[in-house]
Amino acid sequence: MHVLLSTYGGRGHVEQYVLDLQEVDETQVAVVGGKGAHLGGLSRIEGIRVPGGFCVTTDAFRRIMAEAPSIDDRLDELSRLNPDDREAIGTLSAQIRRTIEGIAIPGDLAAAITRALAQLSEQAAYAVRSSATAEDLPTASFAGQQDTYLNVVGPTAILQHVRRCWASLFTERAVTYRQRNGIDHRTVHMAVVVQQMVFPHAAGILFTADPVTGNRKVATVDAGFGLGEALVSGLVNPDVYKVRHGEVVAKAIAAKQRAVHALPAGGTQEVAIDSQRQEQPALTDAQVVRLVRLGRRIEAHFGHPQDIEWCLVDDGFQIVQSRPITTLFPIPIPETDDQENHVYVSVGHGQMMTDPMKPLGLSVWRLTAMVPMCEAGGRLFVDVTRRLASPASRAGLLDAMGRGDPLIRDALETVLDRDDFVPSLPDAGPGGPPASGASTPIETDPAIVTELIERSQASVAALERDIRTKTGPALFDFLLEAFEEHKRVLSDPLNLQAIMAGMEATWWLNDKLQEWLGEKNAADTLTLSAPDNVTSEMGLALLDVADVIRPQPEVVAFLQGVEDEGFLDELAKLAGGTEARDAIEAYLDRYGMRCVGEIDITRPRWRERPTTLVPVILDNVRNFEPGAAERRFEQGRQRAQKKEQDVLSRLRALPDGDRKADEAKRMIDQVRTFIGYREYPKYGIISRYFVYKQALLEEAERLVQANVLAEKEDIFYLTFQELHDVVRSKRVDDQLIQQRKDAFRSYHALTPPRVLTSDGEAVTGAYRRDDVPTGALIGLPVSAGTIEGRARVILDMAQADLEAGDILVTTFTDPSWSPLFVGIAGLVTEVGGLMTHGAVIAREYGLPAVVGVQQATRLIRDGQRIRVHGTDGYVEILP
């Protein structure tokens, strides 16, 4: 059917304004948009019926846009607007829509469309549907962004609605979506699908994977009477069927009071359904199973779970749309494709970093990690199937997970409760830490911690010295050896014993003091101002930096306007600026390798982006008196000492009190000696990471100079091995880097689950507790005490603006957040466990804290008053 017009377009490009659906497939998104390409692909699948129709191509759209040069200036204006400036976006986008709708369709283009109509049937009814080039893609759905018009009759009406579809590329919601996702308006073009209407008995949506849990083996069918518009618009509640392995396993039949029907002269109307029919199922079970079978065929063709719009006409299904489900979290790829069931636990929840990581970050973490990992959606997971399968290791795994994050434990138990998902094995086999988490006893001697810190420092110093001479392929050989040394330092038995000694003593004290004295979380106060905690020292040291800056009004005023990363050089020109610069430089020398999300080597470090620290320094200048760091530490130490005396004297008053007090004293000494060191191995890892990163960026600079790479940061989108190959061959796949950038951008929209199965099911876990007031948000108690205050919901440390007494509410806090902890009164996070960094530092500073509060940053609004129950593990939102 296609109509060719070679008189327009230039440079040998032949314009194609109209293409029959049968002539296109999913490779032609640029020509017919996402919807048109998918419909073309669908029409080629054997046994799938798609209503006939054609596409008005993006060539036609570009020609229309060229007819109105004023649109170009408005697009420039749009691109400069803030995505949150709804009023300005609304005004500008309305102007663009009016301009497009007012353009007369050139005669040759109108003739091409009417000729295509005549070949089908001029007076038939059609659906006229927008089909944008950035729509229905595996990484972004854009669902509902543009317009669809049903039951359009006659060539004049169809041409008018084609114009409306072009204009709908600039609806306010479509423009805002592109602005927020960093998509240039000029790169998105609009095709239009004109498709014969079907008048169904029933219609609805089929998801070939469960859209709520992500389970790829469960299909969900939503069904209602009449046109599918009633469901899509939310006019009626649909019947919902769930199908697994070819049978309906669950269904809920709704009272469907209304339907949308087509009118004879064009358009649609809502109609009431008579009462006897309302609760009848829209489909029989046999029809549902047949529909899912068609859906599986479509899913196999596109290679991705699909969201499919269907119509039932005379007991036959017609498919009117299929798009990828973009909200599903990808399934990790196991080391071996054994076709067995697998259970994966999120690494990010344990490391307090659930953001996506770039490919270089993922591969370096995997190369330096102590256990094998797999990745999905830009996140890392550990396969725990074998340890769950063996009764011997299962109990230890569940105990360790439960102490860290009860939601992970509950999710794992939920999977275990299912019949035969995890097979039982005689033993767990090699791999992974010891099942019980128990470690060899260690002598309580501060000299052990001193020795371990000195060993780590010597190892980092040797790395810094030896890497200087390495470039090219030799650098990568050296780094592979350095990664082995990295793992050797971490797996040093003494290092593991010291870490476990602090944690086990904490657990012992909490368990025993609750049993003997009825006191919850007593260890929290006993760990205040523990020595050798490099993370809590980092927060206090920034108070000392504020002490140097506070007396210098010129420096304070200058820092309030800082935006450029070179500000340290400018400081020296101000009165008192040299001392301020030296204080910040000294801080960066010790802590500059740290940053938010620091387990991803690609993240910008404080040394690379020192402006990150400026808001925190200014908060400290404003909220604290001189000498605050030393006072805070000393007050904490004295509170811990007083608590120790109180606990021991109360124990001695009990039956068998001297024995209990002696045991408790031994454990208190063990906690005081080792719990601070718990933070040091991570500091050592990140110190090494910064050395690796600087060497790799120098290598990247050489690749830029040699015109191999466009920019240094492109290496972040390659794995370590791929980068090694690029350095050797001096050739790079630019297309791969662009694909990785697009994928990384799409991963931000995905929420990583704590536990994920090989069926793709995200298992969330729940707190099984009934000791919490109605309406309170439940979490894990990690630092005792109760505090009321103003909630500050902060997602980016650089945006912090805290007053004394504020309670920090955020998604996660890795060590880089600890400088904020000195200025807050309490902490609430969505992710965390008893021994994650945020919890350890909250206890060190005596901050009541509740972690693992699901959706805390959405349920608590910035500025609300809240009460944090750090002993009992819940948060109340106050009136």
Question: Which amino acid, one-letter code, is at 148?
Answer: T
Residue 723 is predicted with a pLDDT of 98
Residue closest to 436 by CA, chosen among 389, 370, 392, 373:
392
Q: Which of 189, 486, 724, 837 is catalytic?
A: 837
Cα–Cα distance for residue pair 139/763, rounded to 1 Å: 23
Look at residues 365, 396, 417 and tell me which one is the last residue of a structural domain.
417
Residue 825 is predicted with a pLDDT of 95
Q: How crowded is residue 234: how many other Cβ atoms within 10 Å of its Cβ? A: 8
- By three-state DSSP, how is residue 195 classified? strand
Cα–Cα distance for residue pair 344/290, rounded to 1 Å: 33
> Are 626 and 550 contacting, i.e. CB atoms less than 8 angstroms apart?
yes
CA distances from 582 to 553, 571, 576, 625 (A): 17, 10, 10, 21
Residue 2 is predicted with a pLDDT of 45
Per the domain annotation, does 322 fall within a domain? no
CATH code at position 799 = 3.50.30.10
The residue range of the domain holding 400 is 343-417
Residue closest to 781 by CA, chosen among 864, 866, 868:
868
Rg (CA), the chain: 31
Told to judge if 837 belongs to the known catalytic residues of this protein, a careful annotator would answer yes
Sequence-ordered list of residues with C-beta below 8 angstroms from that of 760, at least 6 positions apart, any chain: 209, 214, 215, 216, 217, 328, 329, 331
Pull the structure tokens for residue 128: 């006229």
Q: pTM for the full model?
A: 0.88
Cα–Cα distance for residue pair 228/651, rounded to 1 Å: 70
Per the domain annotation, does 235 fall within a domain? no
Sequence-ordered list of residues with C-beta below 8 angstroms from that of 548, at least 6 positions apart, any chain: 579, 580, 583
Cα–Cα distance for residue pair 96/88, rounded to 1 Å: 13
Q: Is 108 left (phi over 0), alpha (psi -120 to 50) or beta?
A: alpha
Instruction: Spell out the alpha helix ranges (H) of 213-274.
Output: 229-232
Q: How crowded is residue 743: how many other Cβ atoms within 10 Å of its Cβ? A: 17
- The Cβ-side half-sphere exposure at 765, using a 13 Å CA radius, reads 26
CA distances from 698 to 158, 226, 541, 574, 715 (A): 59, 64, 31, 33, 11
Helix or strand run (H / E) with residue 3: strand 3-5
CATH code at position 49 = 3.30.1490.20
Q: Looking up tokens 């109108």, which residue turns up?
A: 110
Query: Distance from first CA to last CA of the chain, Å, rounded?
Result: 66
- Ordered strands of the 190-196 beta sheet: 3-5, 15-20, 53-56, 190-196, 125-132, 148-153
- By three-state DSSP, how is residue 91 classified? helix
What is the 3-state secondary structure of 412-456?
Answer: HHHHHCCCCCCCCCCCCCCCCCCCCCCCCCCCCCHHHHHHHHHHH
Instruction: Spell out the alpha helix ranges (H) of 653-752.
Output: 657-674, 680-705, 720-729, 734-747
**Sign of the C-alpha dihedral, residues 867, 872, 874, 876?**
negative
Per the domain annotation, does 811 fall within a domain? yes
Q: Looking up tokens 């604290």, which residue turns up?
A: 624
Look at residues 151, 172, 196 and tell me which one is the last residue of a structural domain.
196
Cα–Cα distance for residue pair 693/463, rounded to 1 Å: 12
> Number of structural domains, the chain?
3
- Cα dihedral 208, 377, 856, 397, rounded to 10, equals 100
* Phi, psi angles (nearest 5°) of residue 128: -110, 115
Pull the structure tokens for residue 588: 């960066």
**Which residues in the chain land under pLDDT 70?**
1-14, 135-146, 230, 233-234, 265, 427-439
Per the domain annotation, does 427 fall within a domain? no
Residue closest to 324 by CA, chosen among 71, 35, 735, 693:
35
Cα–Cα distance for residue pair 467/472, rounded to 1 Å: 12
Burial 313-330 (b: 16+ CB within 10 A, else e): beeebbbbbbbbbbebbb
Per the domain annotation, does 490 fall within a domain? no
pLDDT in tens, 566-624: 999 999 999 999 999 999 999 999 999 999 999 999 999 999 999 999 999 999 999 99
Residue 229 is predicted with a pLDDT of 76
pLDDT in tens, 8-62: 344 445 678 999 999 999 999 999 999 999 999 999 999 999 999 999 999 999 9
Cα–Cα distance for residue pair 643/601, rounded to 1 Å: 41
Cα–Cα distance for residue pair 606/817, rounded to 1 Å: 12
**Sign of the C-alpha dihedral, residues 561, 566, 567, 572?**
negative
Look at residues 168, 196, 224 and tell me which one is the last residue of a structural domain.
196
Residue 233 is predicted with a pLDDT of 66
Residue closest to 688 by CA, chosen among 594, 814, 815:
594
Residue 315 is predicted with a pLDDT of 84
Cα–Cα distance for residue pair 38/133, rounded to 1 Å: 11
Residue 146 is predicted with a pLDDT of 63
DSSP-derived letter for residue 716 is: G
Per the domain annotation, does 292 fall within a domain? no
Instruction: Spell out the alpha helix ranges (H) of 125-188.
Output: 155-167, 172-180
> Are 463 and 484 contacting, i.e. CB atoms less than 8 angstroms apart?
no
Per the domain annotation, does 94 fall within a domain? yes
- What is the DSSP secondary-structure string of 13-39? PPEEEEEEGGG--TT-HHHHHHHHHHH
Per the domain annotation, does 353 fall within a domain? yes
Pull the structure tokens for residue 370: 């102590």
Pull the structure tokens for residue 700: 């990247």
